[in-house]
Structure 1
């Protein structure tokens, strides 16, 4: 395959960077919430729930579209793929736990409820880092060799199909925050012209305003 025919695995590294960053920052932000400040808790709860939903759909796409391909084509790495699936299950358990903990904290803004959320996110983050590191080091090279560009692109399409249209510019900003100049231009180049114009006119400014509200001291 030529370079243009190969899957753009760098896209997944950029997506992973978003999850690494936000799940690292979230626990300290949650612990700094003044007890009883439900307005602040609501801001952070909405932010974390959006990140967790994105992570869920990201893993769901791999479960449905990637692991079956690799199990079929890379039989010598069956144990590795099974490990990836098991790691997804551990991440899913943390997300499930948070689905109950976050609403309780959002309603109360109690310090003890916030600590439960923060500690669970820390456990999620630790398990996720192991998974993402291994995926980038061992799975992505296999993808480059054994998965077509069209098959790979379906993962991105699956993820985008679950995005809220009202939040697209915010989610694009989250992806681009830690992107290199090359990655930024490559991602923007994937967008239709009207979307690039919207990003330039209002998207970047809107993202900076929102993320400043999330990360305020």
Structure 2
């Protein structure tokens, strides 16, 4: 049930779903790229970089806007929040490694197995982190973080995303959303954005994902 006076923690669950889905799919897509197929490598490298950007922003917002108030207010959960921060550091190390590997792979379409292996490890560690965050952190957020503080996390991410990619980002969120979640997200948008999504956004998202997820 939605409560407009409390943090909408369900939003983070939907965001996490995107990361789980895409980091699970990406390694196998990369392994299927034929050596020398630089056009396909460029498509996937751009997609993976965009998901890495989203993950980095997501964690950066938490580091700046979520952990400090929780550490200040939840005395008996300091070890838990510190563990979350350490997990963020491990994820950041994977992201840095991939930033070095992806441009090389994109230019040659050689060595994709190494990229895929790092993505596999990122996915496995990230899923453990997201599970723990949803099970133990979000209940604390619901109790100790105000709606205004929570909303700043979403504002932080939107402020740093490319405006040209907002409809694609929306499509990624809505892809596996329940009917209720989908409607709740759309209700947050201004009328113009909802019209754009209906008229061009859905079609554009399907077309782009068709290019990314094609196999063979």
Indicate the residue corresponding to 2:48 in structure 1: 48
Q: 1:1-217 counterparts in 2 under 5 A?
A: 3-110=3-110, 113-217=111-215
**1:5 is paired with a residue of what secondary structure?**
coil
Q: In structure 2, how many angstroms separate the alpha carbons of the residues matched to 1:68 and 1:147? A: 11
Q: In structure 1, how many angstroms separate the alpha carbons of the residues matched to 2:184 and 2:4? A: 13
- Over the aligned positions, Cα root-mean-square deviation in angstroms equals 0.8
Q: In structure 2, how many angstroms separate the alpha carbons of the residues matched to 1:124 and 1:82? A: 19
Q: In structure 1, how many angstroms separate the alpha carbons of the residues matched to 2:5 and 2:164? A: 32
Structure 2 gap ranges (5+) = none
1:85-112 superposed Cα distances (whole Å, 9 cap, x missing partner) = 00000000000000000001001101xx
Q: CA deviation at 1:4?
A: 1.9
**1:35 is paired with a residue of what secondary structure?**
coil
TM-score calculated relative to the size of structure 2: 0.98
Q: In structure 2, how many angstroms separate the alpha carbons of the residues matched to 1:203 and 1:27? A: 26
Q: CA deviation at 1:21?
A: 0.1
Q: In structure 1, how many angstroms separate the alpha carbons of the residues matched to 2:3 and 2:162? A: 32
Query: How many residues are aligned here?
Result: 214
**2:35 is paired with a residue of what secondary structure?**
coil
TM-score calculated relative to the size of structure 1: 0.98
**2:33 is paired with a residue of what secondary structure?**
coil
Q: In structure 1, how many angstroms separate the alpha carbons of the residues matched to 2:109 and 2:163? A: 30
Q: CA deviation at 1:3?
A: 2.5
Where has structure 1 moved over 3 Å in runs of 4 or more? none
**2:7 is paired with a residue of what secondary structure?**
coil
